[in-house]
Amino acid sequence: MKTVEEQMKIIAKGAKEIVGEEELRNKLTRAIAENRGLTIKLGLDPSAPDIHLGHSVVLRKIRQMQELGHRAVIVIGDFTGRIGDPTGKSKGRAALSEEQVKENARTYTEQIFEIVDKEKTEVVFNSSWLKQLNFEEVIRLAASVTVARILERDDFSDRYKNNIPIGLHEFFYPLMQAYDSVALKADIEIGGTDQTFNILMGRSLQKWMGMEAQAAVFMPILEGLDGVEKMSKSLGNYIGIHEPATVMFKKVMEVPDSLIIRYYELVTDEHPDRVAGLKKELEEGRNPRDVKYELARIITGLYHKEEAEEAEKYYREAFMKKGIPAAIPELVIDLDKDTLGGIIPKLIEEKYVPSGSEFRRLLSQGGISLNGEVLSLEELDSVLVCGDVMKIGKKKFAKIIK
């Protein structure tokens, strides 16, 4: 196993915060001496089974820790999923049915194993221990936390202040997630910063029950292609891990320059020293496009090993050799008007064309292209994707942002 310092460097890469860092060092020291791995816990509420790069942030970190010799336990919250995670919610969330939970869990785990090492991963369902608790044990667990502590959560305190109902059962969600850490004797729990309260509750409950507390590794929320909002399928600013290699490569090339290093840190397995070197090169004037091009090769290669080279070749032919400039004005369009014909009013408003008839004339004469491919009038119903580059006439370009 690698040294404690080398492991800490890899674990800390891209992390927003590590709570219990000194405890983690001690755990690693003992693990190295005993030649064993630590138990890494990741809890998943199986409500959104389609994984994109935003979801991959914690999964890639787990893979990196598995490469260091540790093992992962993925906790599918089939029991807690029937309550629904209230994190960030302004009102109570509808509980999932048992059938929904099972189907989402199946789809989720299939995708998870495209990132984490299946041989070093155990998938468990928290109903297997939460169902066994009797009422006396539940009361004893409830005694470990005060109402004041629960109301420290922003979502609960906001709802309480605004007289929005809070079900008593919702208070049990973070407590049940914390009990998962007790049941697994977790050494490390990893999650997004939106799970801070729930994960720290796990540390508190382990201590309360006389156990060694888990370290908590918090990964930041990844911004999408718009560079501002959280990566989300509903916002259209996402890169899906199952998208075709050519689409993935092109989308990575649409990542804002300001986020290049962040993407290297959060969604690749590149060593921290190499990422630091690339950051220095950018600061010293290296062309961001070149660094991003390498990023696109790395990310596409992670999910499309066989097609990555073809995707790179396609991008060179479709974009780099067709004179598409590096800096392109953004055209923000409505989600409900995302077809070629639907954005004509927006193009007129932004003065790309003087009228709809002029746009159609250009279209009929081969004067409109999308990602280097000439369009025709028959394609007015084509749906535009976030990151598409449209050329209008000889000199006007627009990058589509939804």
Binding-site annotation, residues for ATP = 233
Three-state SS at 127: helix
Query: Which residue numbers belong to the known binding site?
Result: 233
Asked if 377 and 386 touch (Cβ cutoff 8 Å), the reply is no
Cα–Cα distance, 297 to 385 (Å, whole number): 21
Q: Identify the H or E element spanning 74.
A: strand 71-76
Cα–Cα distance, 332 to 273 (Å, whole number): 37
Q: Identify the H or E element spanning 400.
A: strand 396-401
User: What is the CB neighbour count within 10 angstroms for residue 393?
Assistant: 13
The strand ranges marked E within 103-145 are 121-125
Cα–Cα distance, 62 to 67 (Å, whole number): 9
Contacts of 149 (CB under 8 A, 6+ apart): none
Three-state SS at 382: coil
Which amino acid makes up residue 285?
Answer: G
